[in-house]
Structure 1
Amino acid sequence: MVRGKTQMKRIENAASRQVTFSKRRNGLLKKAFELSVLCDAEVALIIFSPRGKLYEFSSSSMSKTIERYEKREKDNIGINNKLAAVDQNTQNVKEDAQSMAKKIELLEISKQKLLGKGLEPCSLNELNQLETNLEQSLSRIRERKNLLFRQQIEKLKLEEKRLKEENAKLRQTCGMNPSPWSTSTEEETMEVETELFIGPPERRRIQNP
């Protein structure tokens, strides 16, 4: 007689349920013992009956096996936490990279507009703002250039003064008369007027003599 397949659901009859529990409990304990012996595995089995009675089997020591299991679970939790942190960091890096790429794109567009390219989509207000920004930039550039010119002129004046002093000392050492273009009390300076103009073009009225 072929035995039918048992349905995996709770047995409603209490007596049948107790009989099935006893049979399958003994079979499970037997299989656990066989697994530990045949495969040299560390096996620990804990069973609580419906009435709360404890049945257990351990191939070595139940407490040591449970301790080993808890340690392994802690290690797994630590690994999972590290993996989660790595995933979060990777996601943050991706988001930062996307944000940086967008900023670079906007800067490139702004650069092209400053070079006079890609102005077709710009409105009149945007063009006026761009013109204002360029004028402010040119003003700062001219200020910086004028400052460098003044600093360079000051350096040249100091170098000229040093050379004159060295020349005067050499002439004195050699017993020669002082140079006609230098004095011992005051150094003469010459102001040179020039038509050089640095700045934006402007209208100038030319008067005929």
Structure 2
Amino acid sequence: MGRGRVEMRRIENKINRQVTFSKRRNGLLKKAYELSVLCDAEVALIIFSSRGKLYEFGSSGITKTIERYERSTYNPEENNVERSWYHEVSKLRAKYESLQRTQRQLLGEDLGPLSLKELQNLEKQLEGALTQTRERKNHILMEQMEELREKERQLGDMNKQLKMKVSLEMTAFEAEQKALMIALPCPWNTNGPTGNHIFPVQISHQPNAIECQPEPILQMGYHNYNPGEGPSSTPRSLAIESSIIQGWAI
């Protein structure tokens, strides 16, 4: 009976898998050797087991065969571009890692590998950075104070202008009120030359103060006078009594 066909899939049993690997590895190495001898071919074979163990065969040496492979697949333009990009990426990666390391050291991390001299240099850098930060802060504060002073001066000028404007408007308003009060008629003065009710005005020393001199009042009817009380004590009552006309005389 012939051997049955083996299904091409991963062998789950660990022992069977290792046995199969050893048998087929030896057979593959044997076939590579036979091919190189019978056909005068340059053969290189590299095998890594699942555990990472290396098995190799080279009819002319593995390194020599690999170099020959690279020369046969070498494209100058593509290779130069790839090498250029590779070097650029390598430089950027190294710079990025250096910046990260420096940043951590400035934050007080990863200080263990640093020597005494490196720590002193780091301390000087931190002191210099702190000095520059304070100078910049003071400069910004001075600029803000100057801006506030300028705004204060502008507001002061605006306040003065508003005070002057209000003062002029108040002066004009007082003059207008004074002229209006001078021309205002007095209802009890009918002795004007034209018959208009114009009262004499006497301006006192106080602003906007006017005094209207009333005429004697004519009273109709009998005036109740009590001899025991004596004459009235007010000037107005005296003026009234002096201008009384008896009721029976009308």
Q: Where on the TM-score scale, by shorter chain, does this alignment land: which range?
A: 0.3 to 0.5
Compute the TM-score of the two structures, normalised by the length of structure 1: 0.43
Higher Cα radius of gyration: 2
Normalising by structure 2, report the TM-score.
0.36
Q: 1 or 2 for the larger relative contact order (CA 8 Å, sep ≥6)?
A: 1
